[in-house]
Each structure stands twice: as C-alpha cells, then as structure tokens.
Amino acid sequence: MERTLIIIKPSAVKRDLIGEIIHRFEIKGLQLCGLKMMQLDDKILNEHYAHLKEKPFFQRIKTSMMATPVIVCCWKGVDVVNLVRRMVGPTNGRDAALGTIRGDYSVSVQENIIHASDTVENAEIEIRRFFRTEELYDFEQLNPSVLYAEYEK
C-alpha cells in the first residue's frame, strides 16, 4: 500500500480544524502511520517549497506556514496519494467543490488549510523530510477486510 503526507496548515490550526480534518481521513478508511506537531522553519520550508523559490509569493507562503505549529501526518491506503488529493480538492479553496476539505473550509489560495503530496514519488520524499523512520508505524487495522477486497490489498 502507498503512503502519503499531509500537513494541516496554520490556517486550519488557528481555526481548530485539526480533529475535523483527521477525522475525514479516518472515516474514509485510511490508516494513520505517523502524526506530530512541529514548528516549521526557513530550512525545511526552503527545501519543501524549492520548486516555488522564484515565485513572487514564495516568502508569503513561508511566512504563512510559520504562523503557528503545523500537524504533519503520514497516511496509508490503496492509491492513497490520488485519493487524498481528491479529498483535499484544488489549491484555491474558492474553486474547490463542496465536500472536499478545501471546498468546505477554505476561501483562499494561500490560506488553503492543508498540503497533500501530489505524486507517489514526492510523497516518499516528503515523508522522509518530515518523519524519521522510527516515527512511522505499520500495524494491521482492526478489520481491513471491510475496507478492501482481498485482491486490492
């Protein structure tokens, strides 16, 4: 099964949406493999957002991401990267469909509540960026047969 990374951003932390967001992934049937609160700094944000460093909004994103601690989570499931991206919705909360996390809780491009890995390859890189190996857990869920058919596991 795949793993993916999500970051519950300061815009969600400030609004007390942490539990609500985590709950949405839990009720979908995804497995939480790692969870922690951390304060991001320039070093990790320069690495995480390196692909945006030439954009005029780069510093605004970094400032926004350092406004409060964030919650970083690693989730596991079948096709989890694509599934989580669909659950999160497009970057601009105003364009996100109702029923998605951003569609339900965001009205902004920048203050868009959540980050989710965009590819399996980037998920692996991002998980290593935010978690040490010993901070990730692999265990059998109570009853995985109610989540997936045998051939899907």
Domains in the chain with CATH codes: 2-140 (3.30.70.141)
Average pLDDT over the chain, rounded to an integer:
95
Mean pLDDT of 62-89: 98
Give catalytic status of residue 115 as yes or no.
Answer: yes
* Closest among 127, 141, 150, 144 to 34, alpha carbons compared: 127
pLDDT of 152: 82
Residue 122 pLDDT class (50, 70, 90 cuts): very high
Q: Are strands 114-116 and 31-38 parallel, antiparallel or unpaired?
A: unpaired
**Mean pLDDT on 69-76:** 98
- Indicate which residue of 23, 48, 51, 115 is catalytic: 115
Distance CA(138)–CA(125), nearest Å, equals 18
Read off the pTM.
0.94
- CA R_g for the chain: 15
pLDDT digits (tens, 9 = 90+) for 128-137: 999 999 999 9
Which of helix, strand or coil describes residue 109?
A: coil
> For residue 153, what pLDDT is reported?
73
